[in-house]
Structure 1
Amino acid sequence: MANQQGIEKIKQIRQRWVSYQLTADALLCAAIALLAGALLHAASINWVWCILIFAVIFSIVILLRKPWATSLNTVSLYLDQTYPELEESATLALQPAEELNLLQALQQHKVVSTLQHIPGTPAGFTNRLKRAALFLAAALVLSFILLKIPIHSQQGIFGGGNPAKENEKNLPPEKILPQISNTEVTITPPAYTGKKSYQQDRFTLNVEEGASVSWLITTNTAVDHLTLIFNEREKIDMQPAGDHQHWQAQKVLSAAGFYQVELDGKLSDLYAIQIIKDTPPVIHIKAPKQYTHIDAGEKPQVTIQAAINDDYGVGNAYIAATVAKGRGEGVKFKEYKIDFSENFGGHNKQYDLKKLVSLPAFNMEPGDELYFFIQAQDTHKLTSRTDVYIVSIQDTAQLLSMDGIVSGVNLKPEFFRSERQIIIDSQKLLHDRDSISKEEFNRRSNELGTDQKLLRLRYGKFLGEEDESNMDEDKSGGQLGKAENFGNTAMVMDAYTDKHDNAEDATFLEPTAKAQLKATLTEMWRAELHLRMYKPEEALPFEFKALRLLKDLQQKSRSYVAKTGYNPPPLKMEKRLSGELDKIAEPVAKEDIKKTDDQFATLKKAVIILEQYKTTPVLSPADKHTLQLAGQEIGRRASSQPGIYLPALTALKQLTTSNKISTAKVDAIEKALQRMLPVQKQLPSSSANAANPLSQQYFKTLSRLNK
């Protein structure tokens, strides 16, 4: 009887062991299947495959592990290793009592008694089950994250797919002609994008600029003629491919718009053409600062760090540098082209560039300046450039000069006379206009604008214009961080606010010279504006005026002998204080204002007709004519912005042809017309519901006085 109790106890433990092993294997396989299902969902594959994956993995695991094959001897050995009180004699409980000797029988009786105090589920059985449960929880969290990622991002993780197929899922269904049974549109992006061709079965297009689009339309019956009409102007006749049921055409799209299919005189709906424009590269210079000054003792070198990004790929980038040597009219400029050590053959979308520039390599000496900018070009030959950065080397000889002590302060800036060189270059550019290309002319004009800007910035220093190099510094000298200054508003405002009135007091020029220098900067800015617009002939008058102001300012800094006095003509005392004003004519201002025609009159009438149509859905021939004229204007807008105006144009065509559309489509047409109308300026008017009684009383009094 005691032997039977021991066997039952071991069988109970074995049954728990097998069930726990099967449960742990099931949880582990469920976690794997759950992760696989999330990945399949990201690849747009049905979730049913998740169940099949679980069944296959679970079958393989249990066939390999075979938990049902666990014997009672295996359980006994596990109990001997886990519980020392069994004295490694648990296997005796499985043997018949008649086969044991006296000592074994006594030990068996002791082991059976000990087995009754051992728990039915040993602690080691749940370890693997706990690990499987934790893995399943982690799989649930990871699957939830994968499901929250947008579909297009997930497909990008798996190597990308057909972009047209990705966009079709979020687009409403199209209305096509009933004779068309199948549509296959092949889009070949231009070479600069580096993308492969892809296909779609929709007429609505969202393609890259310059993409080649091929249409293959299959009809369910033979047709005589099939045409694609673009923007209601251009027509492309589709060619039959073998029979009159398969038609094909091809076109390179470079501008947004819309098109429709004409099949034996029947017109389809309007289909939008959206163009993805190629943007020029974006350049961000991380180092150095825009104005860098190398002091005495520092290494004459500068490290240029920049990041360049482009939507399809960067083709090339370089540093355009100009070294300025000399002073005044004797200044000389020499241009250099510095290439980065990076290889742009891979046409990556992002580059982090770094270049160490040694200034002595360009024969730069103390007092010279280096002007540079970075220019980048993408795979579509679009270029962009940064602002001009300035690196100067301190001239110690000028710093230790005694000129300022001996002869007073030199009021003339360093490059006061270089405006003359800009005028000479502008005149030479106009002289060479007929012998150079338009691109070269524009480039040289833009470079002159850059030189004018640099000159204007140099003059601005003498007026105390703001310098952004020290904006982040603590002006309080560390006093602001002390505890006793906490809450000191005056100190905080003094440390972190920008005192714009300091620019008026930060110059050593006299007030008259300062005013004239401000006028000079204004003329330089106007000259730079016209040079940037490639109009050097219009910039010359401003350049000459700036030069005259500079020369006049230079003359004013000299010392002159006393000027001769001014002798005014004598006054007639008999007319003095007589009050006779008959010789003074009163000025008369007369202005004839001709009323111009309202170019938006047709659109305003169309809005009124649509408002009336909401209450009385009837259109007269005159109303239809007005709506057709408004539709022409909407069609012109839809050619450039089909995503905004194409639904309204489609609804308006339905209204003028069938005279029956829904109220929602009427609202869409009216909304498009309102978008095209200019915003009316709000005129001053009295408020009928003034909240303040004092305002009401003031308005009543004012109205009574004006009667």
Structure 2
Amino acid sequence: MAKQALHKIDALRRRWVVYQVLADAALSAAIALLAAGVFLLLGWLVWWAFPVFWSVFSIMLVLHCPWRIGNQKIVSFLDREYLELQESTGLLLLPAEELNVLQSLARANTEEAWANLQVGHKLFAKRFLRSALLMALAALFFIAIVILYHPANGGNSRTRGIGIAEQKFPMEKPLPQIDGIGVTITPPAYTRRAQRSQDRFNISVEDGASVNWHISTNVAVKQPYLLFNDKERISLRNTGEGKTWQAAKTISGPGYYQVSIDGKLSELYQVQVIKDAPPVIQVKTPKPYTYIDAGEAQRVTIDAALTDDYGIANAQIMATVAKGRGEGVKFKEYKLNFNTVFTGQPQYDAQKLVDLPALNMEPGDELYFYVQARDTHQQQSRTDVFTVAVQDTAELLSMDGILSGANLKPEFFRSERQIIIDAEQLLKDKDSITVEKFNARSNDLGIDQKLLRLRYGKFLGEEDESQEVPKTSDGVADPADFSNAAKILKEYTDDHDKAEDAQFFEPAIKAQLKATLTEMWKAELQLRLYKPQAALPFAYKALRLLKDLQQKSRSFVAKTSYNPSPIKLDKRLTGELDKIIQPVNKQEIKPAGDAFGALRKAIEVLEQLKAKPTLTTADARVLQVANQQLSLRASAQPGTYLSALGAMRRILSAQKISAIDIGVVERAIQITITAPQVLPSAKAQPADGGLSRSYYKNLKNAKP
């Protein structure tokens, strides 16, 4: 009975843990939904609610620790909720032989009640139900925010650009005479976008788009117009009884505009322009520098990913082949087309297999290429230059440079070269010898390659297998060596340098030696498999790495000569240094005018307005100049400066100045003003007017 009771209590404990975790998750979701609603009101990204959820959920799990709930807590909970158990549930978990007479009687009564006890989920799910109710209320709050502030219901006006994030605009307050507005945007042809319409003045259009305004008024008006950037005026054409007006304009730059009706100007409306970015090219293969070793296929695959905002019109590979050495280098250019047909899609994965012999490339030649792409707006971009070099085996096998200069390991170079020569000769003799002899010679070359690799391994601290001899007797069997730890370690451990601790060469040289050993391993494997043709690329690469090491071992010291000026013996050891002066280069630098002087003065005026909101004539002139500079910046960056420009105009025209408008203007000016450039200046005059300097000068000239 005790075992069955333990299983049942453990099941109840797991049920409690699950409900506690679900309660924490529901409460965290409720907080995240509330945060998402607040983010939506503030115009932030709603996706920031996910980090809020995981952060709150983690904190709650750490605070509550539901996995630490034990069986004793479940027992106490059952005794408190079910009176028929007589607070004796814990006796069911104890062995019967450990109970006294009274405990045995109480246990018998509890077993009867325990057998008929049905524990439901309601008691464990109380906290979860409360959290679920809070989550439902938070979900309703979020849905209400989405419905009330959705663009279709006249909330924050938004328009989605092509290739950029969603653009947000402030609430619009049209003139009271305007009854309706319709704006038709016709994107330029290169975008391949359809015509769209909107019912708001703030617009976000593609570069070169055509915009048509259709304005209807509730009264007949005379001579309405659109004023762009306080400069350009576009008259509205009357299309019906003085209440329907129309205008059109091609947008080529950002800015702002106002609607004028019967001499009254509207608020400032933004004109955002979506610039078409040039194509983006990412070359996946090959690497910036590719070296084709002897025996490898002389071809290279160019794989490029092309992306653009509106579409790729064409892409080409501009290749140049360099042949020859020194002054006899010749170049020849090629234009290679990808295998992809470009139809103006925004993304392409283009490939081209370039056969180097088809470009008349020979061993020792180099191929330079870059990828160039053009979009539907005739904008071009290109990648960096990539290099593909074909190994010249004749130069690699030559002895030039080995007989002269420093040569630390000449026999090792000759050994690797001889393996390559023997492997090529074996391939030539393949048709004239038997298969057994061919395999034997290939295996012998593999043995030579192994010996060469072991000789190089010594430079990296690796174990020399050629010196390993079988042990004929146990060297520690002598009773006199009992408990001699040093001799035991020497007998049963490898007593040689570790590869990582060997200090024969610098780290860069060691890394290249390790790469050489790797190529030798690969060449040996192919030779042991009787495939000398497959072993040649690895052998050639090993030889190239070794020859490069030999070149790195040289050092060059240029010969220099120094002819000192003759020493005047009459001045030698006199200690007179007054004729030795530092060269002085004087240059008069006139400071340029402060481009932000008007804005700095405007900040002073705005700070005064906070204490005394009364605008004098002099202060108004200062703010007028600052208003002109803000106007220029708002025409270039309306999203940043348009609200500040409107606030500045309200300050200049309002009878009562708002502190909120002052803060908006000051923030915009602080963004604009940069730190002044530090210019060289004359050294400050000492406090004594140079008296100490004159004193020491006269003291030196005074005769003793």
**TM-score, normalized by length of structure 1?**
0.51
CA distance in 1, matches of 2:143, 2:399: 74
After the TM superposition, which residues 27-38 of structure 1 pair with which residues of structure 2 at under 5 Å, given as runs?
A: none
1:654 aligns with 2:663: no
Name the CA shift for 1:267/1:337 in 2 (closer, same or farther; >3 Å).
same
1:177 match? 175
Question: 1:221 Cα deviation (Å)?
Answer: 1.4
Separation of aligned partners in 1, 2:150 and 2:362: 54
Worse-matched range after superposition: 654-663 or 213-222:
654-663
Corresponding letter in the other structure for 2:337? D
- Determine the structure 2 residue equivalent to 1:389: 386
Give 1:498 shift: 9.2
**Partner Cα distance (1:250, 1:361) in 2:** 57
SS of 1:241 mapped into structure 2: strand
Quote the Cα distance in structure 2 between the aligned partners of 1:152 and 1:315. 40
How do residues 170-569 of structure 1 correspond to structure 2 at under 5 angstroms?
171-344=169-342, 346-406=343-403, 408=405, 507=552, 510=555
Q: Cα gap change, 1:321/1:153 in structure 2, threshold over 3 Å: closer, same or farther?
A: farther
2:26 alignment counterpart: none
Task: Verify the 8 A CA contact 1:208 1:277 in the aligned structure 2.
Answer: yes
Shift of 1:603: 0.9
Equivalence map 1:629-668=2 (5 Å): 629-668=625-664
Residues in 2 aligned to 1:637 and 1:512: alpha-carbon distance in whole angstroms = 59
8 Å CA contact retained: 1:371, 1:389? yes
Give the 3 Å change call, closer, same or farther, for CA 568–611 of structure 1 in structure 2.
Answer: closer
The match for 2:596 is 600
When residues 658 and 333 of structure 1 are mapped into structure 2, their CA distance, relative to the original with a 3 A threshold, is: same
Whether contact under 8 Å (2:159, 2:168) holds in the other structure is no
**Contact 2:159/2:167, CA 8 A, preserved across alignment:** no
Q: Which deviations, in whole Å up to 9, do the C-alpha atoms of 1:407-432 show, x marking residues without a partner?
A: 5589xxxxxxxxxxxxxxxxxxxxxx
Distance 1:248 1:506, change over 3 A: farther
Deviation at 1:243, TM superposition (A): 2.8
Structure-2 change in CA distance of 1:147 and 1:383 (3 Å) = farther
SS of structure 1 residue aligned to 2:290: strand
**Are residues 622 and 293 of structure 1, via their aligned partners in 2, closer, same or farther at CA, if it must alter by over 3 Å?**
same
- Contact kept? 1:316, 1:377, Cα under 8 Å: yes
Q: For the Cα contact (< 8 Å) 2:255–2:637, is it kept in 1?
A: yes
Does the Cα contact within 8 Å between 1:280 and 1:382 map onto a contact in 2?
yes
Shift in alpha-carbon separation, 1:622–1:309, aligned structure 2, 3 A = same
Instruction: Identify if the C-alpha distance between structure 1 residues 393 and 632 changes in structure 2 by more than 3 Å, giving closer, same or farther.
Output: same
1:615 aligns with 2:611: yes
**Separation in 2, partners of 1:592, 1:507:** 51
Secondary structure, counterpart of 2:349 in structure 1: strand
1:57-68 matched pairs, under 5 angstroms = none
Give the direction of change, closer, same or farther, for the CA distance of 1:148–1:396 in structure 2 (3 Å limit).
farther
CA distance change for structure 1 residues 252 and 593 in 2, over 3 Å: closer, same or farther? closer
Q: Letter of the 1:622 partner, please give it.
A: A
Cα distance between partner residues in 1 of 2:271 and 2:218: 26
Q: Which amino acid aligns with 1:282?
A: V
Aligned mates of 2:150, 2:174 — CA distance in 1? 31
Given residue 347 of structure 1, which amino acid in structure 2 is its aligned partner? G
CA distance in 2, matches of 1:638, 1:349: 32
Q: What root-mean-square deviation, in Å, do the aligned CA atoms of Structure 1 and Structure 2 show? A: 4.6
Letter matched to residue 319 of structure 2:
A
Counterpart of 1:675 in structure 2 is: 671
Q: CA deviation at 1:355?
A: 1.2
CA deviations 1:653-697 (Å, max 9, x no partner) are: 1110123243222110110111111136899xxxxxxxxxxxxxx
The answer to whether the Cα contact below 8 Å between 2:169 and 2:202 also exists between their aligned partners in 1 is no
Would the aligned equivalents of 1:162 and 1:199 in 2 still touch at CA under 8 Å? Answer: no
Paired residues of 1:323 and 1:335 also in contact (CA < 8 A): yes
Change in Cα spacing, 1:253 to 1:388, as seen in structure 2 (3 Å) is same
| Residue number in structure 2 paired with 1:539 | none
Name the amino acid aligned to 2:573: L
Residue 647 to residue 621, structure 1, CA distance change in 2 (3 Å): same
Change in 2 beyond 3 A, CA 1:588/1:184: closer
**Deviations 1:124-160 (CA, angstroms, capped at 9, x unpaired):** xxxxxxxxxxxxxxxxxxxxx99999999999xxxxx
1:539-583 CA distance string (max 9 Å, x none): xxxxxxxxxxxxxxxxx89xxxxx9x97975x5544433445676
The verdict on how the C-alpha distance between 1:634 and 1:185 changes in structure 2, with shifts beyond 3 A counting, is same
* 1:207/1:275 contact within 8 Å kept: yes
Residues 369 and 392 in structure 1, CA contact (< 8 A), matched pair in contact too: yes
Task: Check whether the contact 1:321–1:338 (CA below 8 A) recurs between aligned residues.
Answer: yes
1:293 and 1:584 map into 2 onto residues whose CA distance is 58
Q: In structure 1, what is the Cα distance between the partners aligned to 2:180 and 2:624?
A: 33
Question: Which whole-Å CA distance do the structure 2 matches of 1:245 and 1:615 have between them?
Answer: 47
Unaligned residue ranges in structure 2 (runs of 5+) = 1-141, 153-157, 408-459, 464-493, 513-547, 680-704
Corresponding residue for residue 490 of structure 2: none
Separation in 1 of the partners of 2:384 and 2:150?
35
Separation (CA, whole Å) in 1 of partners of 2:337 and 2:618: 68
Paired AA for residue 320 in structure 1: M
Q: Secondary structure at the match of 2:401?
A: helix
AA aligned to 1:375 is Q
**Which amino acid is 2:182 matched to?**
E
C-alpha distance in 1 between matches for 2:308 and 2:461: 43
Q: What's the offset of the Cα at 1:262?
A: 1.4
Distance 1:286 1:383 in 2: 20
CA distance, structure 1, for counterparts of residue 148 and residue 612 of structure 2 = 46
Distance 1:343 1:228, change over 3 A: same
Cα offsets for 1:581-600 (capped at 9, x unmatched):
67666766766554554332
Say which of 621, 624, 634 aligns to 1:625.
621
Partner amino acid, structure 2, of 1:636: L
Distance 1:273 1:257 in 2: 5
For residues 238-264 of structure 1, give each alpha carbon's deviation from its aligned partner in whole angstroms, at most 9, with x where no partner exists: 211143211111111011110111112
Q: What is the deviation of 1:626?
A: 0.6
- Would the aligned equivalents of 1:619 and 1:659 in 2 still touch at CA under 8 Å? no
Runs of 5+ consecutive residues of structure 1 not aligned to the other structure: 1-144, 156-160, 411-475, 514-555, 558-562, 684-707
Structure 1 residues 176 and 368: alpha-carbon distance in aligned structure 2, compared to 1, 3 A threshold: same
Counterpart-to-counterpart distance in 2, 1:374 and 1:477: 46
CA contact (8 A) 1:162 1:198 kept: no
Letter in 2 for 1:351: Y
| Corresponding residue SS for 1:603 | helix
Matched residues, number: 409
Secondary structure at the counterpart of residue 627 of structure 1:
helix
